[in-house]
Every structure is written in structure tokens, then in C-alpha cells.
Amino acid sequence: MPKITVEGFETFEAKDGQKLVLALEDNGVPIMHRCGGNARCTTCRVEVLSGDAGPVTEAENQILSTRNFPEPNIRLSCQVRCQGDLTVKPVMLSTDSATDAGPRPQE
């Protein structure tokens, strides 16, 4: 099982193949996901500090370039599947916002 370390939070194990956004939420990280995990809003962005987050999906690449996030270590947690150990830093947390996190993304 992949170990996910989140800056400012604890390290936890995720299910192999689970969406990172769900692993974060299920382990107490108040990650934003306003579009429900559909690679449209970019609120679930994380900075990958170490580890391999896997390939960038076409939908992820399109929205990140449209919204001008060219950094290769910025990923959408709704598009990352947990496959190996990762250390990440969430960019937006619901606790820092006046709105709720958004609808729970589907597996």
C-alpha cells in the first residue's frame, strides 16, 4: 500500500489505485474539489514534493495549461492514482475558504 505524506498533516496508507483526492479526504486532509473530481476547476491541486505521481492525463494537462499552471510538480489530486509513496503539499484547503470542499469525487 502506498504511503502518502502530506505537508502539515500525518503520513497514511492509501489503497493502491485510489484517487489521491479521496485518499486525502478520507484521511482528514480538507482538500478542495469544487468540480467533484472532473479535472475542471483545479481546486484540488497539490505540489508533489517527492515520489512519482504517474502520468499526467489529457484532461489534467489541458486544464493546467489553460489555467497557466506549467510547473511539472503541480498536479490535480483528482487525476492522480496512488501507486507509490508520495509526499505532497495541498495548494487549497477547504478550511482556508469560505465555501465547502465540493461534491465528493467518485472513484
pLDDT in tens, 60-103: 999 999 999 888 899 999 999 999 999 999 999 999 988 899 99
- What's the predicted TM-score (pTM) here? 0.94
Neighbours of 87 (CB within 10 A): 16
What share of residues in the chain are helix, strand, coil (percent, to 5)?
20, 25, 60
Where exactly are the structural domains of the chain? 3-95
Query: For a pLDDT cut of 90, what percent of the chain falls above it?
Result: 91
Q: Rounded to an integer, what distance in angstroms lies between the CA atom of residue 68 and that of residue 94?
A: 22
CATH topology of domain 3-95: Ubiquitin-like (UB roll) (3.10.20)
Considering only CA atoms, which of 7, 6, 56 is closest in space to residue 27? 6
